[in-house]
């Protein structure tokens, strides 16, 4: 059964006016995105609602978006003397020219539907006499740190004959041998500054480099499985990046099996289609000859069955890839997490595909058991359930990395990119809200990320850099040190260097000067401890030295000694085009919440005797700062209706996220940083000015508007954008303050913009009121899991959920 809350789109129906990029330099692949398939950090591929495979994130951290016509499912049907055959893709340019594409839907005339509820999606075909559905998924399972890493996609076909006569059906899967393609042809690509001030480098995959590729037929085994292994001749015993295999496996019991090992994907495909379209067969060619220079080869497997009237059959298939090595900077290599279970020789694609055929029914059941309690909740609308699961796509296709385990990291190291335009990992300010998805579903991965930040804080890197922001405003840039010791890093590095070890990849701003990162770190450490049962003292002990270093470093920006670090007048926080000056509501509130969290961490460690020397001195110091700072924050920023943007700019803008610190303090059971009535008033002002008065709430809440809903400056960037993840965080705050209906209205506005305007499975950071977006595949949108937590009082989402802190 396809859940009624899944995202639905008629097959091949285009968009009249999809969102487009705000800036030409930003990535815009267009709206034809479907749910990604593959395990976390294993590489993934995507199949769009028109049926083509077009997203290829096989090389760790790299993005390729293009259709491969030879990678295709096709279907033959015969009733009596009547036959029809279609490539199951509605786009003629995305199938070989001799093949017949599936008829596309038009408004009022659907030919079937695409449904998605991550990690499952479905194709339902209606232009046939048979009822045909393909469910596709990968084993993305909460609390599971093994199967969730597998590089495999399952395609579970359901075929039913509703007629009163026999139907013969044949399913054809074809695949181009792509072994060795997914590695950068430039071993040391030059890093340059893009016109938006971001660092960028060229990725040139070895697309089409197929010399030596060969296909080996796997005849039916004792379990009834048949298929293909795609490999490369004479490759090294120890694989390098790009080396490996692909495999196709199918459960072929009681099926007629046909195959072809070496058809030409550069031709028109007639060598396959003539026989397949005639009777659903193939010429049965098993030629393992490797591809010559300049030659391309592809495989084909067809399964033919005859259904009696009323009969129903299922046919499972799996596509797996084993590309075990990811290379970042030249010579910096990691094994992927799944190699802990299948080995690292790059010759296990068939074993992975076999495992999928053995376990797919169990995976289906486990996914359903995870999702069903949420789907059954009558207090959550269907659109919310849909977006809640579908936004998890980014943990798979957001250039995600997951390394093999080690003694130091027993579940490996994990990371997701901020987005594909800003391709650096686990941006700490962004993950303040975004990381709730990991915390609630894969908490061990969440803690692995935070431990990586804790290790990075003491490090230093004196490499000088130009700051991109000044480039964009036409000003001369000061030179900045890449990473100052004890400054909390913004990110965990990028795929062209050494993620987890070489941090602060972004150079748009000098992140050593940011006023929110240290606070974000401390809050997330305490949060992760609380929401995994308040028992993991080792986690607190590992992070405590960096908590102390980070707060001491940030306190160094309290130049007047009043207890609160000041913003510098430059964009020095997550809204990094927005100048804040003096004490700011956003950064100052996070600072107060972080001090409270640090005191709580210190008290836990002190009581348990977990660290030496005792943290009593730090606790006392933080309490002194907090006692000094809290009344000042209220006095300096409260204007009677809301909290002023800052003390230095004179702006009357209502900042949407002004009380993020208050939200987290209350959520973590810490003392309020502002009076409850003031928080209530400020939040209601945000709702009215930034949401309701911004185009009557149809887009979501803008980041900052004047009390009457007008902009301070109509040419502003960040203040006039609707940030998807910030809106989900605001919705959580609204729920916390007993404004549930308002929270759902704001969330629904954002979800509607994403899922009706061609932004599905590439959710951006920002949208505008003129139909543009910025920064697709953005990490912060995973904050919808924070909204879920608040709406449900953090209802269990794991098979055996940990107890939560108060």
- The per-residue pLDDT for 798 is 85
- The per-residue pLDDT for 195 is 87
Determine contact, residues 170/73, Cβ cutoff 8 Å: no
CA atoms within 13 A on the CB side of 159: 24
Average pLDDT for residues 256-270, to the nearest whole number?
Answer: 98
Question: Whole-model pTM?
Answer: 0.97
Q: Is the pLDDT of residue 476 over 70?
A: yes
| Burial (Cβ within 10 Å: 0-12, 13-18, ≥19) of residue 631 | exposed
What would the pLDDT profile of 155-186 be if each residue is shown by its tens digit? 999 999 999 999 999 999 999 999 999 999 98
Query: Measuring CA to CA, which residue among 622, 579, 587 is closest to residue 712?
Result: 579
Q: How confident is the model at residue 801 (pLDDT cuts 50, 70, 90)?
A: very low
Q: How confident is the model at residue 799 (pLDDT cuts 50, 70, 90)?
A: confident
- In whole angstroms, give the CA distance from residue 254 to residue 181: 36
How much is the mean pLDDT over the chain?
96
Q: Is the pLDDT of residue 83 over 90?
A: yes
Average pLDDT for residues 52-78, to the nearest whole number?
Answer: 98
What would the pLDDT profile of 234-243 be if each residue is shown by its tens digit? 999 999 999 9
Determine contact, residues 234/339, Cβ cutoff 8 Å: no
List residues bridging with 444 in a β-sheet.
Answer: none
| Burial (Cβ within 10 Å: 0-12, 13-18, ≥19) of residue 558 | middle
What would the pLDDT profile of 348-398 be if each residue is shown by its tens digit? 999 999 999 999 999 999 999 999 999 999 999 999 999 999 999 999 999
Q: Is the pLDDT of residue 804 over 70?
A: no
Work out the angle at residue 464's Cα, subtended by the Cα atoms of residues 461 and 466, and round it to the nearest 5 degrees.
130
Average pLDDT for residues 556-566, to the nearest whole number?
Answer: 97
Average pLDDT for residues 246-260, to the nearest whole number?
Answer: 97
Q: Two tokens at 606?
A: 């002190």
What would the pLDDT profile of 624-645 be if each residue is shown by its tens digit? 999 999 999 999 999 999 999 9
* DSSP code at position 435: T
The percentage of residues in the chain with a pLDDT greater than 70, rounded to a whole number, is 99
Higher-scoring residue by pLDDT: 1, 440: 440
Q: Is the pLDDT of residue 483 over 90?
A: yes
- The per-residue pLDDT for 800 is 62
Cα→Cα distances 360→172, 516, 544, Å: 20, 44, 42
Q: Two tokens at 670?
A: 């810490």
- The per-residue pLDDT for 796 is 87
């Amino acid at each position: 059964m396809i859940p009624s809350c899944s995202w639905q789109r008629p097959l091949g129906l285009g968009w009249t006016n999809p969102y487009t990029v705000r800036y030409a330099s930003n990535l815009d692949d267009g709206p034809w995105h479907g749910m990604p398939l593959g395990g976390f950090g294993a590489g993934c591929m995507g199949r769009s609602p028109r049926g083509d495979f077009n997203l290829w994130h096989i090389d760790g951290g790299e993005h390729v978006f293009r259709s491969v016509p030879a990678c295709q499912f096709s279907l033959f049907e015969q009733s009596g003397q009547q036959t029809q055959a279609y490539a199951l893709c509605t786009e003629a340019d995305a199938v070989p020219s001799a093949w017949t594409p599936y008829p596309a839907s038009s408004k009022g005339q659907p030919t079937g539907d695409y449904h998605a509820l991550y990690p499952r999606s479905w194709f339902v075909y209606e232009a046939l006499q048979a009822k045909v559905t393909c469910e596709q998924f990968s084993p993305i399972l909460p609390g599971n740190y093994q199967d969730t890493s597998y590089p495999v996609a399952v395609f579970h076909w359901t075929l039913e004959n509703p007629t009163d006569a026999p139907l013969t059906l044949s399913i054809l899967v074809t695949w181009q041998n792509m072994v060795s393609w997914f590695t950068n042809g430039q071993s040391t690509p030059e890093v340059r500054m893009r016109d938006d001030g971001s660092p960028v480098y060229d990725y040139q995959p070895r697309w089409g480099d197929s010399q030596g590729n060969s296909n080996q037929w796997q005849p039916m085994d004792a379990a009834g499985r048949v298929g293909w292994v795609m490999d490369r001749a004479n490759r090294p015993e120890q694989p390098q990046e790009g080396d490996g295999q692909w495999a196709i496996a199918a459960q072929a019991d009681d099926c007629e099996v046909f195959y072809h090992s070496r058809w030409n994907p550069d031709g028109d495909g007639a060598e396959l289609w003539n026989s397949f379209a005639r009777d659903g067969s193939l010429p049965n060619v098993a030629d393992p000859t490797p591809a010559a220079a300049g030659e391309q080869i592809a495989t084909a497997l067809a399964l033919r069955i005859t259904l009696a009237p009323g009969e129903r059959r299922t046919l499972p298939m799996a596509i797996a890839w084993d590309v075990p090595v990811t290379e970042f900077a030249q010579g910096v290599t990691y094994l992927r997490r799944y190699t802990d279970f299948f080995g690292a020789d790059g010759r296990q694609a068939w074993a992975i595909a076999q495992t999928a055929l053995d376990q797919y029914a169990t995976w289906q059941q486990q996914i359903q058991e995870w999702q069903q309690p949420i789907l059954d909740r009558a207090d959550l609308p269907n659109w919310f359930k849909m977006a809640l699961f579908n936004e998890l796509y980014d943990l798979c296709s957001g250039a995600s990395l997951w390394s093999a385990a080690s003694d130091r990291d027993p579940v490996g190291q994990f990371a997701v990119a901020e987005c594909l335009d800003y391709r650096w990992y686990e941006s700490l300010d962004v993950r303040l809200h975004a990381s709730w998805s990991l915390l609630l579903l894969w908490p061990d991965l969440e803690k692995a990320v935070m431990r990586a930040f804790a290790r990075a804080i003491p490090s230093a890197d004196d490499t000088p850099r130009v700051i991109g922001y000044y480039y964009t405003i036409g000003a001369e840039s000061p030179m900045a040190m890449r990473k100052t010791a004890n400054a909390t890093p913004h990110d965990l590095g990028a795929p062209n260097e050494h993620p987890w070890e070489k941090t602060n990849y972004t150079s748009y701003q000098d992140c050593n000067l940011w006023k929110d990162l240290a606070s974000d770190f401390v809050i997330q450490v305490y949060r992760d401890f609380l929401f995994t049962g308040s028992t993991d003292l080792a986690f607190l002990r590992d992070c405590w030295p960096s908590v102390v270093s980070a707060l001491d470093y940030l306190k160094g920006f309290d130049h007047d000694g009043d207890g609160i670090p000041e913003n510098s007048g430059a964009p020095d926080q997550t809204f990094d085009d927005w100048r804040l000056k003096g004490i700011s509501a956003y950064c100052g509130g996070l600072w107060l919440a972080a001090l409270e969290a640090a005191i709580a961490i210190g008290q836990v460690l002190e009581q348990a005797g977990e660290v030496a020397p005792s943290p009593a001195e730090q606790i006392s110091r933080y309490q002194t700062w907090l006692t000094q700072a809290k009344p000042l924050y209220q006095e300096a920023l409260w204007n009677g209706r809301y909290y002023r943007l800052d003390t230095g700019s004179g702006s009357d803008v209502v900042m949407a996220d002004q009380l993020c610190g208050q939200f987290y303090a209350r959520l973590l059971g810490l003392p309020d940083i502002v009076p409850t009535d003031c928080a209530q008033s400020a939040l209601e002002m945000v709702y009215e000015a930034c949401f309701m008065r911004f185009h009557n709430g149809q887009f979501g809440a803008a980041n900052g508007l004047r009390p009457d809903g007008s902009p301070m400056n109509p040419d502003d960037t960040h203040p006039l954008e609707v940030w998807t993840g910030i809106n989900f965080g605001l919705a959580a705050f609204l729920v916390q303050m007993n404004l549930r209906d308002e929270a759902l209205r704001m969330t629904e506005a954002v979800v509607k913009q994403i899922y009706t305007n061609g932004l599905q499975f590439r959710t951006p950071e920002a949208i505008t009121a003129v139909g543009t977006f910025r920064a697709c595949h953005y990490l912060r949108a995973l904050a919808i899991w924070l909204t879920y937590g608040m709406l449900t009082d953090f209802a269990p989402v794991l098979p055996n959920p940990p107890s939560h802190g108060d």
